[in-house]
């Protein structure tokens, strides 16, 4: 094997082997050391290595798996950038941070084992990892950098730890298969477009203040339930919340249809009264009623009547639009109870 070594630092690998064994005694691997090793499918790194530079495996297009030993305590940026065949990577437990664009454009990456004491994910570290379906973040992670999971179109699950403080701009941009986000109360800073997943999503966020710009960079969001709209010549997907619990938002900064969607979710996940949501529903009673009927959001409809946020008289002309007999019966029962309460009040007067 052709290694160029200076003072125990691997400066450059110049061979064309499919499987490479780095010699024992090497303490560092220099920038771009394996750049151009297009035939390398696997590599074995000794536990004498302590530092790895930037772009070490940049564009190693045949590399399929790599294990970084726990002896490594520093790694530069873009270590595996554009390793388009990389499927699995195990990172050193000696690393406290994952540098920027570590796995940028690793299109086939399916599994990554992160350091157990990891504190930070750098900018765009997993951007365009189109095959990554699940990521297990250690409980020590505090910061997720901007664009960290940008365009991870296969990502379905990520558990955000209770230690998390910051999520950067566009962190989950275009993660359209990510159906659920549970945001820990520890979050202090959330960037613009952080949750612009461009797909339907359930958000659980008790104790976290959420703003509309976190879900859409340019406020071009299509909050309608029908066909896609076009914006600047491109299709914009529907952004829908379902089964979401988002108690701390300012409805005034959301578009009316979006605010209505949030109100419907409030009713479906009702855990107690909210003056803000209640007031908005009463003020936009007809809009909320139409949305609930169009989307067959009957759980929300029942709750709105039970809480007397939608009046029985307003609902009455629309009962024939509900084809679920059990829902109609329950609504009629709620309506009778409302009417009975009004009659009792009238008698007292």
pLDDT digits (tens, 9 = 90+) for 168-211: 999 999 999 999 999 999 999 999 999 999 888 899 999 999 99
Q: What is the pLDDT of residue 345?
A: 30
Quote the tokens at residue 69: 């030993």
pLDDT value of position 54 = 98
Residues paired with residue 82 on neighbouring β-strands, in sequence order: none
pLDDT band at 313; cut points 50, 70, 90: confident
Strands (DSSP E) contained in 91-196 are 97-98, 111-113, 120-121, 134-136, 143-144, 157-159, 166-167, 180-182, 189-190
How far apart CA 158 and CA 121 sit, in angstroms, is 14
Statement: residue 86 has pLDDT above 90:
yes
Structure confidence at residue 265 as a pLDDT band (50, 70, 90): very high
Q: Is residue 50 scored above 70 in pLDDT?
A: yes
pLDDT surpasses 90 at 55: yes
Q: Are 115 and 138 in contact (CB under 8 A)?
A: yes
Average pLDDT along the chain:
89
Query: Domain 1-91 is classified in which CATH homologous superfamily?
Result: Ribonuclease Inhibitor (3.80.10.10)
Cα-based distances in Å from 8 to 43, 51, 130 = 18, 11, 37
What number is the average pLDDT over the span 310-321? 84
Distance CA(73)–CA(202), nearest Å, equals: 37
* Residue 67 scores a pLDDT above 90: yes
- Contact yes or no for 74/98 (Cβ under 8 A): no
* DSSP per-residue string spanning 48-114: T--EE-TTTTTT-TT--EEE--TT--EE-TTTTTT-TT--EEE--TT-SEE-TTTTTT-TT--EEE-
The residue-averaged pLDDT of 7-27 equals 96
What is the arithmetic mean of pLDDT over 19-47?
97
- In terms of C-beta density within 10 A (0-12 exposed, 13-18 middle, 19 or more buried), how is residue 50 classed? middle
* pLDDT (0 to 100) of residue 141: 98
Mean pLDDT of 131-157: 98
pLDDT tens string 242-257:
889 999 999 988 888 8
d(CA 240, CA 222): 9
pLDDT interval class at 317 (50, 70, 90): confident
CA–CA dist 222, 330 (Å, integer) = 33
Dist. CA 138–CA 119, nearest whole Å: 8
Say whether pLDDT at 226 is over 50.
Answer: no
Query: For residue 212, what are the contacts with CB-CB under 8 A and spacing of at least 6?
Result: 219, 221, 253, 254, 255, 258
Residue 342 has pLDDT above 90, yes or no: no
Of the pLDDT bands very low, low, confident and very high (cuts 50, 70, 90), residue 239 is low
On the question of pLDDT at 22 being above 60, the answer is: yes
Mean predicted confidence (pLDDT) in 309-327: 85
Going by pLDDT thresholds of 50, 70 and 90, the confidence category of residue 162 is: very high
pTM of the model: 0.87
């Amino acid at each position: 094997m052709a290694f160029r070594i200076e003072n125990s630092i691997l400066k450059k690998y110049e061979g064309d082997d499919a499987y490479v064994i780095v010699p024992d005694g090497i303490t560092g691997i220099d920038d771009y050391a394996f750049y151009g090793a297009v035939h390398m499918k696997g590599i074995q790194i000794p536990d004498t290595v302590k530092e790895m530079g930037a772009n070490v495996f940049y564009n190693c297009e045949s590399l399929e798996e790599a294990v970084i030993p726990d002896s490594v305590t520093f790694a530069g940026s873009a270590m595996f950038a554009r390793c388009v065949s990389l499927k699995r990577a195990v990172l050193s437990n000696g690393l406290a941070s994952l540098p920027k664009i570590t796995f940028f454009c690793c299109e086939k990456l399916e599994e990554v084992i992160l350091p157990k004491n990891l504190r930070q994910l750098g900018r765009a570290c997993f951007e365009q990892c189109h095959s990554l379906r699940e990521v297990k973040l250690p409980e020590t992670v505090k910061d997720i950098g901007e664009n960290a999971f940008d365009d991870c179109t296969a990502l379905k699950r990520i558990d955000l730890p209770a230690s998390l403080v910051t999520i950067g701009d566009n962190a989950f941009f275009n993660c359209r298969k990510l159906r659920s986000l549970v945001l820990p109360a520890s979050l202090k800073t959330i960037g613009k477009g952080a949750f612009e997943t461009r797909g339907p999503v359930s958000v659980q966020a008790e104790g976290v203040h959420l703003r509309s710009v976190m879900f859409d960079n340019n406020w071009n969001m299509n909050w309608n339930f029908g066909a896609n709209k076009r914006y600047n010549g491109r299709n914009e997907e529907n952004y829908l919340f379902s089964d979401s619990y988002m108690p701390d938002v300012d409805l005034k900064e959301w578009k009316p249809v979006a605010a209505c969607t949030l109100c419907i979710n409030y009713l479906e996940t009702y855990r107690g009264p909210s003056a803000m949501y209640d007031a908005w529903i009463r003020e936009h009673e007809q809009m909320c009623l139409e949305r609930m009927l169009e989307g067959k959001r009957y759980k929300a409809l029942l709750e709105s009547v039970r809480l007397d946020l939608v009046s029985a008289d307003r609902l009455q002309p629309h009962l024939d639009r509900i084809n679920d007999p059990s829902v109609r019966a329950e609504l009629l029962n709620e309506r009778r109870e409302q009417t009975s309460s009004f009659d009792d009040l009238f008698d007292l007067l």
